[in-house]
Structure 1
Amino acid sequence: MAYVLNVAYVLLLIAAAPYLLYSRIRHGKYRDGWRQKLWGDVPRRRSRRTPCLWLHAVSVGEVNLLQPLIARWEKSHPDWEIVISTTTQTGYALAQKRYAPRMIFYAPLDFTWSVETSLRIIRPTILVLAELELWPNWIAAAQRAGTKVAVINGRLSAKSFRGYSRIAGWLHSTLAAIDLVAVQNTEYAERFVALGAPAKNVCLTGSMKFDGASMDRGNPATRKLSALAGIQDSDVVLLAGSTQAPEEQIALDVFQKLSPQHPNLKLLITPRHPERFDEVAALLDRSGVRWQRRSRLETAGSDPLARVLLIDVVGELGAWWGACQIAFVGGSLGRRGGQNMIEPAAYGAAISFGPNTWNFKDVVQLLLGKQAAIVVRDAAELQSFVARCLVESTFASHLGQRAKELVLQQQGATDRTVTLLETLAAKNLAPTLPAHPSWKKHENKRRAG
C-alpha cells in the first residue's frame, strides 16, 4: 500500500504542478520548505536524548489551537522538547511568530522516504496531529519507529466522513495505528469508530478552541492594536473577520448605509486569505470611503478621518476581535463552511454569521441554543442586525454576555487532553476509561460489515 500511495502522490504532484507554479509566481505561495516537505530534511533537535512532543498543525487555525496545550505541557514537563510542524506558508509564519525559539519547520509530505527521514531525525516520543490528519505513510512510519500517535481536538464533519467512507478499507489500518483519538464531541467519536478507530482509543475531551480564546478585552495585544488604529472608547467597531468574496463588499455596503446615521461606527475587515489583501484594497479604493491598511499604521499613523481599516497582517485576528462590539464571522455566506466564532464569543461581542457553517456545526448549535448568536442569510439581514446592535445597546450586550458565558462553560478540554497525552507517554492509554456504549456499537457494526 505504501508504494501505491507514493505513486499516487507523485501523480498528484505532477497534475498540480501548473497550479503550484502559478500560485508561486502570482501569489508568492509554495516557495518555501520543499527540502523538508519532499525529503524530510527537517532541523535537528538540541538533544535526541530528551523526550519529544512533535505537534503538527496544518495552518493558522490549528497553530492557534496549540497555544494552551504548549503552555500546560511545558509547565508540567520542562524536561521535554516540543517541536512544531505546519503545512501552509501562513501557518509557518504564525508559528514562527508565536512559538519561536522552539523548533518550527514544514511537515514532510506523505512519501515513505520523507516521513521516515523526518522521524529518524527528530525521534519523537509522541506525534500529535491536530484535528484531522490521516496520513497513512506517516502514521505507519511512526508506529514502526515506536512513536505513539495521537489526534487531538479531533473533528470529522459529515462531508469528510462521507469522503473517507469511500476508502474505509484503506484507512482501517491507519486508524488502528493511532494510539489516541481525542475528539470534540460524541458525534465525531462515532464517525471515527465507524471508519476503523478502535473504540478503546477514542476519548471525548471537548473542543480545545474554547481554552485558547482570550476573554479579556484589556489584554496587551488588543490594547496595542486598538491604540495603533486610533480606536476611541466612543467608537462602535464592526469587525468582518475571515471573510471571502463577496462578504467584504456586503460588509462595506452595510457600513456605508449605516454610518451616516451612526458616525461612531467603524469597520474592520480581515480577509481569510492573504493573497486577497490587494483585491480587497482595490474594492475599498473603488468605494470612495476613507480607509487605511493595518500594515502601514506603524509608519503612517492612524488617520482620524478613516473609518475603515483593512487588516492585511496574518495572525492578529484573535486580538482584533477584542476591539469590536459587533462581529460578523466570514466564510459563512459562501461555500467555505464558516470560520471559528469562538474568539469573538469569548470577548462578549454580538456575533452574527451566515447560514453556511457546517465546518463549525457543533459550536453553532451551542451558540444558537443559548441565544448567543444571530444567523444572517444575506446582506439585508446583516444590515438589520448591525442596525439593531447600534440602536439597542442592551440587545447587543446581552447577546455578547451569553456568548461569553457559553465559552466559559465549555473550557477544560486542554486539561483533559494533556492528561490523556501523559498517559500515552507512559505507554498506558487510559485503561480505566471504558468506551462509550454508542461508540462500541459503531465498532461492532463495522466489524460485522
Structure 2
Amino acid sequence: MQGASMAKQWLLNLLYAALLLSISPWILWRRVRQGRYRNGWSQKLLGALPQPAKTLGSNRSYTIWFHAVSVGELQVIRPLVERAVRELPTAKLVVTTSTDSGYELAQKLYHAHTVAYAPLDFTWAVRRALDRIEPDLLVLAELELWPNWISIASQRQIPMAVINGRLSQNSLQGYRRIASIVRGIVRKIDWIAAQSDTVRERFIELGYDPAKIQVVGNIKFDGANDDRAHPEVLARSGPLGLRDGRSTVWLCGSTQDPEERICLDTFGQVADEFAQLKLILVPRHAERFEEVARMVEATGFAWGRRSRMHSDGLDPSWRIFLADSVGELRWWWGMADLGFVGGSFGARGGQNMIEPCAYGVATCYGPNTRNFTDIVQILHEADAASQLASPEELKPWLVGMLQDESLRTRCAGRAVSITQKHRGATDRTWSKLVSLLESKDLRSPKD
C-alpha cells in the first residue's frame, strides 16, 4: 500500500513538472511584462519556508499553519488569526499564500507572524515545508485539494481543516470526472466547515464522511467591517473630502475587464444630471492599474489616484478616484453610498458582496455570481441587493437609486440587517479548530 501511494505521488510530480514546463513561456512573459512571478521560487519549488520564531516565556506552544491562496482568502482567515492571537498568545502562526498580490497583502496583515509562499504540490517541496514549519494544525481556506500536500500531512498525523468551505456546482462537476482520486484525497481531511447545506451535500457527494462536515455559515459575514467611523475608513475618506456628506459616492469594487469601461461609460451618462455624484474605481488586479488609469484620464473628468496622492495631491473638484491599491477594498466600501461588485459581468463568477452590504451600501452586481450562489440567494431572499441581467441595466439602477433616496435607504437597511443576522461562523469554526489542536495532545514541552 505504501509503495502504491509513493507511486501515485511521483506520478503527480511528473504531471506537475510537465504542466509547469508547458506554461513556463507564459510565466516568463508575465514576469517580464507585468513584473509577476518573480519572487518566492525557493519556497514554491523547494519548500524553503522560513521557520517560525521560537516562542519565549512559554513551556510549549502550538504551531498553526493557515493557507489562503490569494487576497480574498486572506481576508477570510483574518478573524481566526485574530482569535488565535487573543486566545492562544503563545501559538506560532504561519500564513502562506500562492499569489504575488496575496503575499503583498499577507505581509501587511500578518507582519507579526511568519508569512511565506506556499509550496507547490511537489512531494519534496511539501515535505521540506512541513519539516520546517512542524504544524500542529493545518487550516485550508475555502477549498484547497492538493493531493500530495494533504496525503503527506495525513501520513504525519497532522490535523487538517477546510474552513469556510465552498464547492461550486461547476467545481463539483469537474471533480466528478476524477471522483476516485478526489474521494481518496478529501477523506483525509479531518473536518470541513461548510458555508451552507448545499455545500455540505456537494462534499458528501464527493465521498466525504457526513459526520465530519458541519454547516457553520460564512466567515465573510463576520469579517466584514460595518463601522463607517473606523480609523481605516476615515484615513481614506478624509483626504478625499468625503466627510461633509455633500457627495454621493458610487464605488465599483473588484472590477475586471471590461467592467471599468462599463462603469465609466455609465458614470459619464449621468454625471451632468447628478453633479453631487462621485465615482471610486477599485480594480481587482494590480497589473491593470495603469490600463484603468488611462481609461479614467480619457474621460476628461477631474480625477485622482491613490498611488499619487502624496506626490501630486488631489483636485478638490475630482469626480473620479482610482483606488490603485491592494487589500484596501474593505475600507473603501466604508465611504460608499452605492456599490457595484465586479467580476459579475464577465467570466469570473463574482466577488465578495458581503462587505458593501455590511456597511449599508445599496449594492448591485451582474448575472455571473456562480462562486457566491449561496450568498446571492441570502441577499435575494432578503431583498438586500440587486442582481442585474446585463450591463444595460446598470444605468437605470443607478439613476433609480439617485432619484429615490428612500429606496436607497430601505435597500441599505435590509443589507445591514441580513449581514448582522448571519454572523457567528467564526465562533463555531474556532471552537472546532481548538478541539482539533487538543486532539494532538501536545501537553508536554515542545522544542
- So what's the TM-score if we normalise by structure 2? 0.94
The answer (yes or no) to whether the contact 1:51–1:125 under 8 Å persists in 2 is: yes
Distance of 1:194 and 1:378 partners within structure 2: 33
Distance of 1:402 and 1:253 partners within structure 2: 29
Distance of 2:237 and 2:312 partners within structure 1: 15
The residue identity in structure 1 corresponding to 2:127 is E
| Residue 136 (structure 1) aligns with | 147
The answer (yes or no) to whether the contact 2:253–2:339 under 8 Å persists in 1 is: yes
How many pairs were matched up?
429
Deviations 1:79-123 (A, max 9, x none): 211110000000110011111121100000000000000001110
Deviations 1:216-256 (A, max 9, x none): 11111111101122224111000011111221111111211
Q: Which one of the candidate residues 105, 109, 112 is aligned to 2:120?
A: 109
Secondary structure of 1:30's counterpart equals coil
Matched-pair identity in %: 44
| Residue 206 (structure 1) aligns with | 217
Distance of 1:236 and 1:109 partners within structure 2: 46
| Residue 6 (structure 1) aligns with | 13
| Residue 363 (structure 1) aligns with | 375
Deviations 1:285-339 (A, max 9, x none): 2222221111111232221122101111111110000110000001111111111
Q: Which one of the candidate residues 43, 47, 70 is aligned to 2:54?
A: 47
Distance of 2:258 and 2:88 partners within structure 1: 47
Q: Which one of the candidate residues 167, 188, 192 is aligned to 2:203?
A: 192
Distance of 1:428 and 1:54 partners within structure 2: 15
Secondary structure of 1:228's counterpart equals coil
Deviations 1:131-186 (A, max 9, x none): 00000100111112221111000000000000111111112221111001111011
Q: CA deviation at 1:375?
A: 1.5
| Residue 185 (structure 2) aligns with | 174
| Residue 104 (structure 2) aligns with | 93
The residue identity in structure 2 corresponding to 1:148 is P
- Larger mean CA deviation between 316-325 and 290-299 belongs to 290-299
- Does residue 281 of the first structure (1) align with residue 293 of the second (2)? yes
- Does residue 68 of the first structure (1) align with residue 75 of the second (2)? no
The residue identity in structure 2 corresponding to 1:304 is P
Q: CA deviation at 1:196?
A: 2.0
| Residue 440 (structure 1) aligns with | none
- Larger mean CA deviation between 300-309 and 407-416 belongs to 300-309
Distance of 1:413 and 1:327 partners within structure 2: 25
The answer (yes or no) to whether the contact 1:119–1:145 under 8 Å persists in 2 is: no
Q: CA deviation at 1:426?
A: 1.8
- Does residue 20 of the first structure (1) align with residue 27 of the second (2)? yes
| Residue 345 (structure 1) aligns with | 357
Distance of 1:203 and 1:108 partners within structure 2: 28
Distance of 1:134 and 1:404 partners within structure 2: 34
The residue identity in structure 2 corresponding to 1:72 is R
Deviant stretches of 4+, over 3 Å: none
The answer (yes or no) to whether the contact 1:230–1:303 under 8 Å persists in 2 is: no
The residue identity in structure 1 corresponding to 2:358 is A
Distance of 2:16 and 2:405 partners within structure 1: 55
Q: Which one of the candidate residues 55, 71, 83 is aligned to 2:94?
A: 83
The residue identity in structure 2 corresponding to 1:170 is I
Q: CA deviation at 1:192?
A: 1.0
Q: CA deviation at 1:21?
A: 0.3
- Larger mean CA deviation between 394-403 and 248-257 belongs to 248-257
Q: CA deviation at 1:209?
A: 0.4
The answer (yes or no) to whether the contact 1:230–1:302 under 8 Å persists in 2 is: no
| Residue 226 (structure 1) aligns with | 237
1:174-323 equivalences in 2 (<5 Å) = 174-231=185-242, 232-323=244-335
Secondary structure of 1:328's counterpart equals strand
Secondary structure of 2:236's counterpart equals helix
| Residue 445 (structure 2) aligns with | none
Distance of 1:145 and 1:228 partners within structure 2: 52
Distance of 2:157 and 2:172 partners within structure 1: 29
The answer (yes or no) to whether the contact 1:254–1:379 under 8 Å persists in 2 is: no
Distance of 1:122 and 1:75 partners within structure 2: 21
Distance of 1:206 and 1:138 partners within structure 2: 26
The answer (yes or no) to whether the contact 1:181–1:203 under 8 Å persists in 2 is: yes
| Residue 58 (structure 1) aligns with | 69
The residue identity in structure 2 corresponding to 1:26 is R
- Does residue 329 of the first structure (1) align with residue 336 of the second (2)? no
Distance of 2:239 and 2:141 partners within structure 1: 33
The answer (yes or no) to whether the contact 2:366–2:391 under 8 Å persists in 1 is: no
1:419-430 equivalences in 2 (<5 Å) = 419-427=431-439
Secondary structure of 1:426's counterpart equals helix
| Residue 40 (structure 2) aligns with | 33
Q: CA deviation at 1:428?
A: 8.4
Structure 2, unpaired ranges of 5+? 1-7, 442-447
